[in-house]
Each structure stands twice: as C-alpha cells, then as structure tokens.
Amino acid sequence: MNRRAVITLRRGKEESLDRFHPWVFSGAIASMPEGIEEGDVVAVESADHRFIGVGHYQIGSIAVRILDFGDTVIDKDFFARRLTEALALRSTLCLDRPDNDAYRLVHGEGDFLPGLVVDIYGKTAVVQAHSPGMHYCRDMIAMALTELDMLEVANVYYKSETTLPYKARLDPVNEYLIGGFDTNIATENGLQFHIDWLKGQKTGFFVDQRDNRALLESFSRGRSVLNMFCYTGGFSVYAMRGGARRVVSVDSSAKAIALTSANVGLNFPDDNRHEALAEDAFKYLDTMANGEHDLIILDPPAFAKHRSALRNALRGYQRLNFKAFEKIAPGGILFTFSCSQAVSREQFRLAVFSAAAQSRRRVRIIKQLTQPADHPVNIYHPEGEYLKGLVLYVE
Ligand code: SAH
C-alpha cells in the first residue's frame, strides 16, 4: 500500500462504500492517526483492515470523499486520467462544436472527482473546489487541464471563494492559475453569451439549463414570455429566437438585468420585443395583469441549501408556483424548476401540485425535466441529481 495516513472504519460501516458510494461520514470512523489535516489524501480501511479506497479528508459530516476505490496515487497523472475520461463523455455528447463551446467538463461525483467542478467557456476553464483537498490540488488540476489533447484550454480561472468550507480557513483567492483574461463570449447552441466568471454567480453561467432552454425555444412561437429569475437571460434569448411575440425578463439583481440586456443585445440588436426589469419576482407576479403572459419560466435560486431549510423551501415553491398559476393565460405553458439538492423530485412535484390545486386551474404535466448529460449522476451517488423541472399546460 502507498504510504498515507489510514482511517479505519467502525464495523459494518464499509457497506455503502462497497457499493461505491463515495462518502465516508464522520460517524463511521473508528480511528485515525493524529495529525491528519484537512485536505490530506488518506487511505480508508474496514474494521478488519481491508483496503477500501483513497480520498480527501475534511472536517465535517462528510469526512472523506473517495477519489478512487483502488490503491492509487493522487498526482497530476491521476487528474489527467480522470479529466480524459470526463472529456471522452463530453465528446460522445458532441458539446464542443463550432456552434457550442460552453459545457461542464467535470461534475463532482458524477465524474468521479468529488469536490471538483470545471466549466468550459471556449478556451477558458473555470475551476471550482468544494473541498479543501481539491483546493490543494488546484495547480495539478490546472496543469492537467491545459495538457489535455482534444481540448484547447489556454486560461484556467480558479473561483472558490464562496464554495469552500469557511471554517477550513483556506482563504482562497479567485485568480487565474494559468493564462489571463480572454474573450468572455461563449456560444451555446448558436447563441452568444457574455460570461462573467470574474464576478458572476457560480462559474459565470448556468450551463445546466442548456437542454431546457432549447425545449423552451420550441414552445415560444407567438407567445408572451415571462422569464423569472433570469440571471444572464439564457431562457430569454432562446425565446426570442423561437419567435416569441414579447419577452419580459425579471431578476432582483440589477447586475443580472444588465447582463440579460447585454446578452439579448448581442444576439438580437435593436429588437424591441424584449424588456428587462430589476424587480422582486413575487412582487412582479402580484402586480402583473391576469393573462398577461402565456409562457412563464420560474427558475429560482435553491430555496433549500440544507436539509434544515426543507419545509420553508417547499412552502416557497408552493407560494411562487401558485402566483404563476393564478396569473398565467389560459392555454399557457409553465416551465417550473427547483435546483435544491435537498428537495426530492417527489417533494417538488407535490409542492407544485398543491399550488395547482390551490389555484383550481386544470393543469397537465407535459414534460419532466432534469439536468443535462454533461452533469451526469454517478449511479452509486443518487445525491448528484439536483435539477428538477416540470413543463405544465395550464387551461
Ligand atoms: N434562470 C437562470 C438562473 C437563475 S439563478 C439561468 O437560466 O441562467 C437565480 C437568480 O434569481 C439570480 O440571478 C438571483 O439574482 C435571482 N433572484 C433571487 N431572488 C430573487 C427574487 N426574490 N426575485 C427575483 N430574482 C431573484
């Protein structure tokens, strides 16, 4: 075995790991040597000293995130292999095309790299660490990214100021690890977007709605579209291309509204079908006229960031969807989403069902949506499924 600190589990606590679930909870640990530090690579063994895997240690409820179930050295070659595998999947999905250069290359556990997210925008990779271990590996990851055949990464921007556990006191700095600022216009399905990885939310763009935006486009012809929580205006731009009669984009952040206007302008200069408003979504729905819109998108931020917030989150989804059901025109289509990982598909559907019943409208589910294929779910880690959406036909 390679020389690493060894964490020994309590009897029976290896069961989920034997089924390839990649997390060791702190309560499962029987013993570990003194001096282990957050971010260390450790080996994990069962109570009877059977080797289980290697992973990154951290303080908290998830104590180890398994990187490999073999006795593997975690070095640049390891990351190069994993990144090559991740890229092989994206190549199969044909996401790197002349008309599309924005996609997720690494989706944490879904790409067997727990704690790591990498989004690609043209020649720039935006790297986000969610664990101290990945934070310490950032330079190796950046090097491995630029050395990938088949992918032309010239700039690697590291953006983990808000994603690392605060208590770890890592004081991460958002910065370029390789290269520097490049054109920040990325192309998604032939549409152009300014991506603000320096100051924007997450890695600068929500690539996870790509397929759902394309679906929305196909429903947009002749409709009056209301894009709630628009952020960069992704859904709005697709609706415009789909032939919407009118598009209203709403976000409480003035910065988001400026981004949306810029993105609409980039694709449809001087097109007066679009209007962007910096306003609270709930307020807008309260004051909007009945039947003003017949295609509404509700894509709010995660209402439940943790399990403890679940009840309030479900109430929030119900309240929001009820307001949309109340106001949407007959024959309207509602795209409604939840990106809270703590809210299950069933719980979300129940919240929307309750809202529909409260509004007494006739509502049918015409599509059930999820995250796209570049956000894969490791079958042994069902927690990786987070995006849920319903497309509803409202009479
Ligand atoms: N639909 C977007 C992503 C939405 S992110 C996309 O496809 O890219 C969530 C957005 O909701 C953020 O831009 C945030 O500013 C906005 N937001 C949060 N609370 C809000 C509220 N009460 N009213 C309106 N917008 C809100």
Distance 168 CA to ligand 1 centre (A): 29
**Helices H, strands E: what count in the chain?**
10, 20
How far is 134 from 164, CA to CA, in rounded Å?
10
CB atoms within 10 A of CB 364: 10
Give phi and psi for 250, each to the nearest 5.
-125, 135
237 touches 245 (CB < 8 A)? no
Q: Whose CA is nearest to atom 16 of ligand 1?
A: 229
On average, the pLDDT of the chain sits at 95
pLDDT digits (tens, 9 = 90+) for 140-158: 999 999 999 889 999 999 9
Q: What is the pLDDT of residue 182?
A: 77
Q: What is the pLDDT of residue 284?
A: 97
Which of 229, 237, 280, 338 has most ligand 1 atoms within 8 Å of CB, for mutation? 229
- Give me the DSSP letters along 368-384: EE---TTS---TT-GGG
Instruction: Point out the ligand 1 atom lying closest to the alpha carbon of residue 280.
Output: 23
| 2 pLDDT above the threshold of 60 | no
Distance 222 CA to ligand 1 centre (A): 25
Q: Which residues, including other chains, have CB under 8 Å from residue 99's CB and lie 6 or more apart?
A: 187, 189, 190
| 93 pLDDT above the threshold of 90 | yes
How far is 281 from 323, CA to CA, in rounded Å?
10
| 234 pLDDT above the threshold of 60 | yes
Longest CA–CA span in the chain (Å) reads 70
Distance 98 CA to ligand 1 centre (A): 29
Q: Does the beta carbon of 234 lie inside 6 Å of ligand 1?
A: yes
Q: Does the beta carbon of 249 lie inside 6 Å of ligand 1?
A: no
Active site residue ranges: 339
Distance 126 CA to ligand 1 centre (A): 21
Query: What is the pLDDT confidence band of residue 1, given thresholds at 50, 70 and 90?
Result: very low
Tell whether pTM > 0.85. yes
| 242 pLDDT above the threshold of 80 | yes
Highest mean pLDDT among 75-89, 161-175, 189-203: 75-89
Averaged pLDDT for residues 100-123: 97
Q: Which two tokens stand for residue 291?
A: 């039947």
Q: Does the beta carbon of 281 lie inside 6 Å of ligand 1?
A: yes
Q: What is the dihedral of CA 194, 198, 201, 205, to 10 degrees?
A: 30
Which of 121, 202, 251, 335 has most ligand 1 atoms within 8 Å of CB, for mutation? 251
With CA atoms as reference, report the closest residue to 250 among 271, 225, 236, 230: 230
Q: Does the beta carbon of 212 lie inside 6 Å of ligand 1?
A: no
Q: Whose CA is nearest to atom 19 of ligand 1?
A: 252
Q: Tell me if residue 220 falls in helix, strand or coil.
A: coil
pLDDT digits (tens, 9 = 90+) for 18-63: 999 999 999 999 999 999 999 999 999 999 999 999 999 999 999 9
How far is 160 from 278, CA to CA, in rounded Å?
27
How far is 72 from 316, CA to CA, in rounded Å?
45
Q: Whose CA is nearest to atom 12 of ligand 1?
A: 231
pLDDT digits (tens, 9 = 90+) for 64-84: 999 999 999 999 999 999 999
CB atoms within 10 A of CB 257: 20
| 88 pLDDT above the threshold of 80 | yes
Give phi and psi for 237, each to the nearest 5.
-65, -40
Q: The tokens 């034997």 sit on which residue? A: 18
Q: What is the pLDDT of residue 3?
A: 65
Q: Does the beta carbon of 235 lie inside 6 Å of ligand 1?
A: yes
The separation between CA 17 and the C-alpha centre of its own chain, rounded to angstroms, equals: 25
Q: What is the dihedral of CA 23, 20, 42, 132, to 10 degrees?
A: -40
Distance 300 CA to ligand 1 centre (A): 5
Cα dihedral sign, 161-162-165-169: positive
